[in-house]
Structure 1
Amino acid sequence: MSYLVSISGSPSEASRSSVVSAYIKRKAEERGLSVREISVLDFDPDVLIRGKYDDPSITEAISVLHGASGVVIVSPVYKAAYTGALKTLLDLLPQDIFKNKPLFPLMVGGSAAHLLAIDYALKPLLAALSAQTILKGVYVLDKYVDKSDANEPIKDEEVQEKVDVQFEQFAEIAQNLSIQKELK
C-alpha cells in the first residue's frame, strides 16, 4: 500500500481537531499504514489567499495527494461549515484530486446544532473535487476531546467507537484499492 494523507483544516496549532487528526494518524500507524500530513498551517497565507496554484508548496501537496490511497479530512466547524483556510487550500487543488480515493471526513464543533456540517457543507465540497467514496464521517463535540491526552483524546465511548469503526472501514477500502492498483 502506498500511504494515507491526513488533511487538517485547523488554522490553530493546538486545536481539538488537530488532536483528533493525530489520533487517526496513530490508529493508521498501529495498522502498519504510513500517513503523510498536510495542514493549512504548512502554507504561507499569501499563497492561499492569492490563489498561487503554481507555488512549490501547492504542487508538492498535489503530488502527495496523487500518490495517496485514501484521504482523511479533519476540520473544526466555523460558522456551521469547514474553515475558510481549508476552503482556500482545497480551491487550489485540481478538480479531480480525490477521484478513486476513499475519503473519511471528521469535524469537531462546539454544538450539536452543527451536526449536519459534514453532510451539508463538507461532503458537497469533496464531491466537487471528484470524491466518489466518502464515508459517512463523524462529528465530534468539543467537550468530548481532551487535548491533554494524545493516546485516547476522545472521551465519549460512543463517539470513539464511531471514529474507530469508520476508520477501520476507511483503511480497509484504501488498502483494497491500493492492492487493485498494484495488480494492474
Structure 2
Amino acid sequence: MAAILSVSGSPSPTSRTTRLLRHVDDRLRRQGHEVTLLEVRTLPADALLGADLRHPAITAVADLFAQADGVVIGTPVYKAAYSGLLKSLLDLLPQYALTGKTVLPLATGGSQAHVLAIDYALRPVLTSMGASHIVSGWFTLDRDIAREDGVPAVASPTAKAAVDGVTDQFSAALNGRVGALAATG
C-alpha cells in the first residue's frame, strides 16, 4: 500500500482540523496505508519564519514529503484562505515537492462562506508544486467536528459520509498510482 504524509496546518493544539485529519488517517490505515503525521505547529517557529532551509527540522520535513506517495493537507480557513502556518511551510519546501504525488486537500471553518477556499486558495499552490493528482477536496464546518475525546471526530452523519467519500477516492487514486508504479518498475 501507499505511504501517506498527513499534514495539519492548524496553529491550535486543540484543533478541529487535526481531529478531522486523525479521522481520515484512521480510515486510511484501515485500508492498509502507512500514515505519517505532521503537525506544522510543532516545527520551530524560528526556522519557519526565518526561512531556514538548512534547519534539521525543515530538511526532515522535506524528506517526509519526498518519501510520501500521497499527501493529505488539512487547514483551517482564516480570512478566506488557508492558514499562514501552512503557507510558511509550503514556501520552504522545494518548488516541485509534490511532483508525482496524489494530494487530498481538506479545510475546516466556521461558515459556508469559506467553502471555496480549497479551490481558490489552496489548489493553485498545490498545482504549482507539481502535484500529479489533486482529488476533490472537502470543506467541513467546525460545528460538524467534535472537540471532545471519546466521541467520533466527525459528529455529523452527513459530514462523515462526505469526508469518508473523499478519503476513499484518495485511497483509490493512490492504489492505482502505486499499482502502476509497481507494474512499470
Structures share a fold, TM > 0.5? Answer: yes
Unaligned runs of 5+ in 2: none
Alignment of 1:54-65 (within 5 A): 54-65=54-65
Question: Is residue 166 of structure 2 the alignment partner of residue 166 of structure 1?
Answer: yes
Using the size of structure 2 for normalisation, the TM-score is: 0.94
- Give the Å deviation of 1:151: 5.7
What's the offset of the Cα at 1:158?
2.1
Task: Give the direction of change, closer, same or farther, for the CA distance of 1:135–1:68 in structure 2 (3 Å limit).
Answer: same
Q: What is the aligned partner in structure 2 of residue 67 from structure 1?
A: 67
Residue 41 of structure 1: how far off its partner (Å): 1.8
Inter-partner Cα distance in structure 2 for 1:54 and 1:176: 35
Aligned partners of 2:149, 2:179: CA distance in 1, in Å? 35
Is contact 2:73-2:103 (8 Å) kept?
Answer: yes
What is the match of residue 44 of structure 1?
Answer: 44
Matches within 5 A, 1:49-128: 49-128=49-128
Q: Which residue matches 1:30?
A: 30
Say whether the 8 Å CA contact 1:69–1:175 is kept in structure 2: no
* Backbone CA RMSD of aligned residues: 1.3
Return 84-93 or 154-163, whichever deviates more. Answer: 154-163
Runs of 4+ aligned structure 1 residues displaced above 4 Å come to none
Q: Classify 1:91/1:103 alpha carbon distance in 2 versus 1 (closer, same or farther; 3 Å).
A: same
Aligned equivalent of 1:131: 131
Residue segments in structure 1 that go unaligned for 5+ positions in a row: none
Give the aligned residue type for 2:36: R
Query: In 2, distance between residues paired with 1:123 and 1:150?
Result: 33
Cα distance in 1 for partners of 2:110, 2:169 equals 26
Aligned equivalents of 1:48 and 1:146: distance in 2? Answer: 30
- Provide, for residues 108-127 of structure 1, a one-character-per-residue CA deviation record: whole Å limited to 9, x for no partner: 00011111011111111111
Cα distance in 1 between the residues matched to 2:60 and 2:150: 28
CA shift at 1:2, angstroms? 4.2
Cα deviation 1:86-131 (Å, max 9, x = unaligned): 0000000011111111110110000111110111111111111111
Secondary structure at the aligned position of 2:82 is classed as coil
Distance in 2 (CA, whole Å) between partners of 1:63 and 1:42 is 16
Aligned equivalents of 1:151, 1:99: Cα separation in 2: 37
